[in-house]
Amino acid sequence: MASRLPPLLEPYLRLPPETSLILLTGVLGSSTNWLAHRYLYSLLSPRSVVNLEEHGSDQADKGDINVILVSFLRDYTFWKEGIGRLGVDLDGSTRRGRFVYVDGLSALFQTSLAHGAKAPSGSRAGRRVLSAPTPDELRKGLEDAISHLKSEITSVNPKIVLIIDQLDLFLAATGENLSAQALHETLLDIRENVHSTIVILSADEPLILSQTTPLENEHAAFALSIAHSAHMVMGLRMLDTGTAKDVSGVLRITCGGQYDQETENVVDERELLYFVGGDGGVRVFERGQ
């Protein structure tokens, strides 16, 4: 099972520090999908608790890690199939009370669907639906998911990790009704109720504010605010020299603006190359290997 996580990435995919924010970014041609799948695998697979024991975490004797995933771009089937290829059954994790999926895509613009509409019972009981592109609906929907997951957890002092996929799409969907600052403040409120948060954005690195459209400026401001609030940033981009048959792109790992080297585990800043195979397998390696 350990081979399903590239060895060079294992130190970065463990349970994040308490209250921390991790930022994953990608660009067109360098998708974060494979990295997000491996974060989910690391957090939800049975080996996650084994890793904690091996590395002396204070969570080792306190039960499993639990995950809430909200996605504004990809449906449940995409995530289920992707992580299923790595050996984790999302339906099974849902039944065991370890996972909740929040659908931020399919009903976002269907005003006829009431807020927080719940999926049918059974294997879909741990799923929620966001029905409107407003910060209040986002906050209420995620608070409902957090409350549901906590009601299912039987372990002592549970650790809930919130993963938000393509939050910048939510910002775009609100039009002029939501500012980057307001969305960031909403995120801060939500983060108070979970152990740690992972945010996935579509920009490789925070953009420099320029005289562009208001929406582009809001996106840039939001990306900057998230990077400044992050413990760690993992950014994917294309090779500077173009495409290569044995290299899909570059993974850059850096400290975020809130990283405190005196109180937190060391973040080894580095650049790695990665290759995503046709079968979904991923190889991560250093330059020259």
Percent of the chain with pLDDT over 90: 48
Contact between 67 and 37 (Cβ < 8 Å)? no
Helix or strand or coil: residue 223? helix
Average pLDDT over residues 64-88: 93
Helix or strand or coil: residue 154? coil
Better-predicted residue by pLDDT, 27 or 117: 27
What does each C-alpha distance from 30 to 24, 48, 55, 191, 213 come to in angstroms? 12, 27, 31, 27, 25
Lowest mean pLDDT among 44-48, 78-82, 117-121, 277-281: 117-121
Q: How would residue 134 be classed by pLDDT, with cut points 50, 70 and 90?
A: confident
The single-letter DSSP state of residue 178 is -
CA nearest to 105, candidates 190, 40, 165: 165
For residue 273, give the CATH number of its domain.
3.40.50.300
- The model carries a pTM of 0.87
Helix or strand or coil: residue 130? coil
What does each C-alpha distance from 39 to 18, 71, 73, 172, 224 come to in angstroms? 16, 14, 18, 26, 23
pLDDT at 47: 58
* Total count of domains within the chain: 1
Residue 277 sits in which domain range? 2-285
Q: H helices of 192-282, where?
A: 214-229
Place of tokens 């900057």: 224
Beta strands in the chain (DSSP E): 21-25, 65-71, 99-103, 127-129, 159-165, 196-201, 232-237, 249-255, 270-276, 282-285
Contact between 140 and 102 (Cβ < 8 Å)? no
